[in-house]
Chain A
Amino acid sequence: MLSTVATILMIIVGLSMLYILYRTIKGQPIERRYVFLYIALAISLPLLMQKTAPVPVTRDVMKLVDALNELPPGSKVLAAFDYDPPSAPELQPMGVAFMKFAFKHDLQVIIMGLWPQGPQQANQAILEAMKDPEIAAKNLQYGVDYVNLGFQSGNEFVIQSMGSNFKRMFPKDDRLIPYDSLPIMNSVTNFSNIDFVFNLSSGKPGTVEWVQIAVDRFGAKCGAGNTAVQAPQVYPYLRTGQLTGLLGGMSGGAEFEKALDEEGKASTFIFSQMISHATVIAFILIGNVAFFMSRKKKKQ
């Protein structure tokens, strides 16, 4: 019912935009506040429609998925959650999809964060992943199959110190369990014992620091998920091969979910983002019509 109402409202919104275009051609452009209203509708109505949009999986996402698929069961993956709640709509679905994949493929996940809120985002992703019946049936043990080392201040210097000794930076985990009492960490001294680094980042410290220190200096293999705003900054590392693969923004998350066959929130959110992008494009066109109309008027 809600979905039908939302669809009808979407059609009305679409038609009203045609009216705005007509008004603009007539020389009566709309005020800025209407743009806000239309964006609010373009974002919220598709969420109520609960629809997903098909996405083609791009090369950069596929590279990351291939690298993850190559990891044999029992591989140790370091998952660095370097973001906070504002970036969660884009990055949290990637985190959940990654956790589901890792747990289903028996990868051993070591979580940490260079952002104070990162480890809590990871806890939420784990809770979400654990709802999957296949994962719940595995009865995974904390400290054996996965661990959350928590937050450590020091930005890139934490990565640098981890290059020589993980324990130096994380003498206790997020649950205050000593490093030596964690079976998963028994064979981990530094990056040479880590098979893959998966970083979710929305700023500094983030993917750039992981590439510059963990990859370039200590030879770790790294893939990342970034917010759409940050992704352009890490593209150069992707082309040089320093970064194995990249999930960029909401579309990266949706592609990741599709490639892993783990449909989640990103697959739903991408529909909302698609409609909002269409609305922005429509307003850019309307804005240009208004611009050319006013220029024509001035010439006359």
Chain B
Amino acid sequence: MRREIPLLITSIAGLVFAISYFIPHWPFGESESIFGDWITIVQSFAIWLGALNLLKVSFEKIYRKRKDSLYAGVIIFCLVATLIIGFYDGFSGLMQEPEVSFRAPGTHFDWVFVYIYTPLSSTMFAMLAFFVASASYRAFRARNFEATLLLIAAFFVMGGRVPLFDLPLLKLGISDVPYFSLFADWIMSYPLTGGMTAIMIGIALGIMSSSLRIILGIERSHVGGA
């Protein structure tokens, strides 16, 4: 029964969503809405589960005195501090008339978001620029025909997505000649779109077949089966 019940739930949920797409009327339309609400609730709990798991992993690191346990301490401190600030703002907001959300501009939580979270996460993301540049320097080599094609496409797209080569024409106000960016646009519109569409169709077919396997109970790996 430990396997059969989850398999049954999966099959029913999968069938309801599949059928309701084609028959959006009672009872399928209603069932889909109810299932949608359940998904929202389950996902909300998943956020908590993620936070608790992060705490567990971090505490374990500190307890076992593993390498970089200092960072685990920073994670715990930040998580707890943000939670306390969020709860404090949330409760004090509920006491006010009219009620104020913890995320509203001017709250402590908003201050944390604007002045701590935003610059820190932007910094982390900005590191990508350095790695992309370094990877381009080392990887974009005209080693063979395919690599040369990739190199040429990269040259056109990188130069065309910014007004780098169009700058003289734009500065002079010449508009009756094709801009360099049009080449980048062409690459994005045709070769890229064609390739992406093929990949997307492939993925969709793959999803359909594995979904059918799950709905029919053939694929059981998600309940610990083979």
| 11 A/B residue pairs, CB under 8 Å, sorted by A | A53-B167, A56-B166, A87-B125, A161-B36, A231-B188, A232-B196, A235-B196, A277-B159, A281-B159, A284-B140, A284-B154
Chain A residues 153 to 174 lying within 8 A of chain B, measured CB to CB, are 153-155, 157-158, 160-161, 164-165, 168-169, 174
User: Nearest 5 pairs between A and B by C-beta?
Assistant: A86-B125, A154-B40, A85-B118, A274-B162, A176-B99
Contacts A86-B125, A175-B98 given; does A235 touch B192 at CB 8 Å: yes
Chain B residue contacts of A277, Cβ below 8 A: 158-159, 161-162, 164
Inter-subunit contact A157/B162 (CB<8 Å): no
Inter-subunit contact A232/B138 (CB<8 Å): no
A179 within 8 A of B: no
A89 within 8 A of B: yes
> Number of A-B pairs whose CB atoms are under 8 Å?
179
Chain B residues 99 to 149 lying within 8 A of chain A, measured CB to CB, are 99-101, 103-105, 110, 113-114, 117-119, 121-122, 124-125, 129-130, 132-134, 136-138, 140-143
B171 within 8 A of A: yes
Q: How many residues of A contact B (CB 8 A)?
A: 71
Of all chain B residues, the one with the shortest Cβ separation from A151 is B103
Inter-subunit contact A154/B43 (CB<8 Å): yes
B170 within 8 A of A: yes
Of all chain B residues, the one with the shortest Cβ separation from A292 is B142
Inter-subunit contact A228/B161 (CB<8 Å): yes
Chain B residue contacts of A165, Cβ below 8 A: 33
Chain A residues 125 to 156 lying within 8 A of chain B, measured CB to CB, are 127, 150, 152-155
A233 within 8 A of B: yes
- What does DSSP make chain B's interface, helix, strand, loop or mixed? helix
From B43, B103, B159, contact of A153 by CB (8 A):
B43
Interface residues of B (CB under 8 A from A): 21, 29, 32-33, 36-37, 39-40, 43-44, 47, 93-94, 98-101, 103-105, 110, 113-114, 117-119, 121-122, 124-125, 129-130, 132-134, 136-138, 140-143, 151, 154-155, 158-159, 161-164, 166-167, 170-171, 179, 181, 185, 188-189, 192-193, 196-197, 200
With the chains together, A120 CA to B37 CA distance in Å? 24
Inter-subunit contact A235/B188 (CB<8 Å): yes
Supply 8 further A-B pairs (C-beta < 8 A) apart from A175-B100, A235-B192.
A35-B134, A58-B185, A85-B118, A120-B113, A168-B37, A280-B137, A281-B159, A284-B154
